[in-house]
Structure 1
Amino acid sequence: MSNLARWRIELISTDEEGCNFYLNQYKPFRLAALRRDPDAFGSTYDREINFTNDDWLSRIKNPLVKTFVAVRPHDGRVLSATSLIGPLPNPDPSSNPLQASAEMRNGGDQHHKHGNAQVSPLSFQISGVYTTPEARGQGFAKELIKTASEQAINSAKGQDRQLSLSVVVYASNSAAIRLYKSCGFVVGEGGFRSSFNPHKNSSFEELVMHYREPPSIS
């Protein structure tokens, strides 16, 4: 059995231990991913390599962001990761959910509950999962998506509200589209949409996919 088979899913905490893990393990994982597969991300290596530690920690300390990782217990190495963003006041999925959540946290988009807002769906968005090349084919991505989805499902149930869970995928990323379909996501009715990415100064075709919880069997 390979060492890659010995792993566990963790939610990175916001305490001192979690912050140290984020800087010492997640940060190198993220930067390596941005450099190795730039087309898989909305951000860029050149942008994030210039982040200060405070910039990095502002992400993990953002109450709207929960980052899940698949790690090797014996050395803490991150093999795969994804983030769950929400609950969001705007049900329309964002091309850059981490940026949107930071703007919301800083007061750029406040959520005021009034009228029928209390019974509106609770909206979350998954920020694309990434797995290191040597760890692919082990099921990490699927387990992370399942874990993040269950977190969103339980949050909605806890508030007795319907769930709106989405992910935005590059239309050219057929592997990611297949992965999300296997995890219960379906392509939205709007089909392809064009989105401008200021970090890359380019426009890309995207697909919005929505989670459909399987019907319960009575």
Structure 2
Amino acid sequence: MSPKFIVLPKSHTSLAKFLQLSDRYKAFRLLSLRLSPESFGSTYAREVAFAPDKWLARLSNPLATTIVAVDDGITPPSPVQASSDEDLSIETADPESDFELALDAEWLASLTISGPLDTKTLATHLHLEESFVDFGPAHELDLGPARKCDRPTRQFVVNGMYVLPIARGNSLGVQILEYAKRYVAAEAKVSGERVRLSLIVDYDNPAARRTYEKCGFGVVHRYWFDDYREGRGTKTEAAVMVVDLNDGDEIAKKAG
């Protein structure tokens, strides 16, 4: 399989085609919920009942950007670690070509970036009290080389990341996360603002944590929650992981 990364548009000149894209998005989301119900806070039974407008609203949400990895049969596979990833371009010479590819090609993975978020909304996304969401500069948490002490001014959350079982084993999770980081860093570079990406992962899922760690994320908070997901116990420990972008402009330079 050869992945290509596509940022899904929030609208299209053809409503019929945008409805097709919404159907592709819906199909992949429902497949993810059906194959791995233990990986999501939502359920297949809940979302399969959504009206078409609900799926359209998700795609057109100005504070949510969905990135998918598709098998275009052309792009050379890149089973590499984040530390040695070659630049993954976030630009496309032909957005319409990417749009058509998103309609026709097999989707292998997906994630959604929510933001920028204010403190209250960020706390809601991370299931924390508002007073918990400022974790301080990432370098204080030993997440990598020394970094500046400036607080990030734009906060984003990674949600709903999923890689199909048939596409695992080639670092696709790392690749789509690195692409997402570059996309957000490039957006922030325009305004010169500092950015932080956060996410939540089950602490008892070391494979997922390793994937995030390879992309620079580090655990900043752990907590227990009542778990009602299929196949899980009554209590699960979750970890909040963060990575600061634009530190030393390393990521921004790759994106620019």
Using the size of structure 2 for normalisation, the TM-score is 0.66
Contact 2:38–2:229 (CA under 8 A) maintained in structure 1 = no
| Counterpart for residue 78 of structure 1 | 107
- Partner residue, 2:21: 21
Matches within 5 A, 1:48-127: 48-73=47-72, 75-90=104-119, 91-92=122-123, 94-95=125-126, 121-127=153-159
Query: Displacement, 1:203?
Result: 5.0
Q: What SS does the aligned partner of 1:35 have? A: helix
Q: Deviation at 1:199?
A: 7.9
Q: Distance in 2 between matches of 1:35 and 1:57?
A: 21
Greater shift, 25-34 or 76-85, is seen at: 25-34
Any idea what the Cα deviations from partners look like across 1:37-78, whole Å, max 9, x if unmatched? 111111111100101111111100100000000112364221
Q: Check 1:175–1:18 CA distance in 2 against 1; reply closer, same or farther (3 A cut).
A: farther
Q: What is the deviation of 1:139?
A: 2.7
Counterparts in 2 of 1:122 and 1:32: CA distance versus 1, 3 Å: same
Distance (Å, rounded) in 1 between the aligned partners of 2:124 and 2:182:
19
Q: CA RMSD in A?
A: 2.5
- Please state if 1:12 is matched with 2:43: no
Change in 2 beyond 3 A, CA 1:121/1:196? farther
- Sort the Cα spacing of 1:57 and 1:204 in 2 relative to 1 into closer, same or farther, 3 A: farther
| Secondary structure, aligned partner of 1:21 | helix
Specify whether residues 216 and 85 from structure 1 end up closer, same or farther in structure 2 by C-alpha distance, changes over 3 A only: closer
Query: For the residues of structure 1 that align with 2:236 and 2:126, how far apart are their CA atoms?
Result: 10
Contact 1:93 1:167 in 2 (8 A): no
C-alpha contact 1:12 1:22 (8 A) present in aligned 2:
no
Cα drift, residue 197 of structure 1: 6.3
Q: Is the contact between residue 152 and residue 244 of structure 2 (CA under 8 Å) also seen in structure 1?
A: no
User: Is 2:250 the partner of 1:195?
Assistant: no
- Kindly provide the amino acid, as one letter, of the partner of residue 194 in structure 1: W
Alpha-carbon offset, residue 157 of structure 1: 2.3
What runs of 5+ residues in structure 1 fail to find an aligned partner? Answer: 97-118
Number of the residue aligned with 1:146: 178
Cα contact 1:93–1:168 (8 A) shared by 2:
no
- Greater relative contact order (Cα < 8 A, sep 6+): 2
Q: CA deviation digits over 1:69-114, x for unaligned, max 9?
A: 0112364221100011100012547247xxxxxxxxxxxxxxxxxx
- The 8 Å contact of residues 8 and 72 in structure 1, kept in 2 or not, is answered as yes
1:170–1:207 Cα contact (<8 Å) kept: yes
Shift of 1:173: 1.6
SS state at 2:54 partner:
helix
Cα distance in structure 1, aligned partners of 2:124 and 2:216: 17
**Higher strand residue share:** 1
* Contact 1:93–1:166 (CA under 8 A) maintained in structure 2: no
Q: Is the 8 A contact 1:19 1:60 kept in 2?
A: no
Alignment pair present for 1:168 and 2:222: no
Is the 8 Å Cα contact of residues 70 and 81 (structure 1) preserved in structure 2?
Answer: yes
After the TM superposition, which segments of 4 or more aligned residues of structure 1 sit over 4 Å from their partners? 196-200, 213-217
Alpha-carbon distance in structure 2 between the residues aligned to 1:120 and 1:9: 26
Question: What is the distance in 2 between the residues matched to 1:205 and 1:94?
Answer: 16
Residues in 2 aligned to 1:179 and 1:197: alpha-carbon distance in whole angstroms: 23
Q: 1:174 to 1:53 in 2, by over 3 A?
A: same
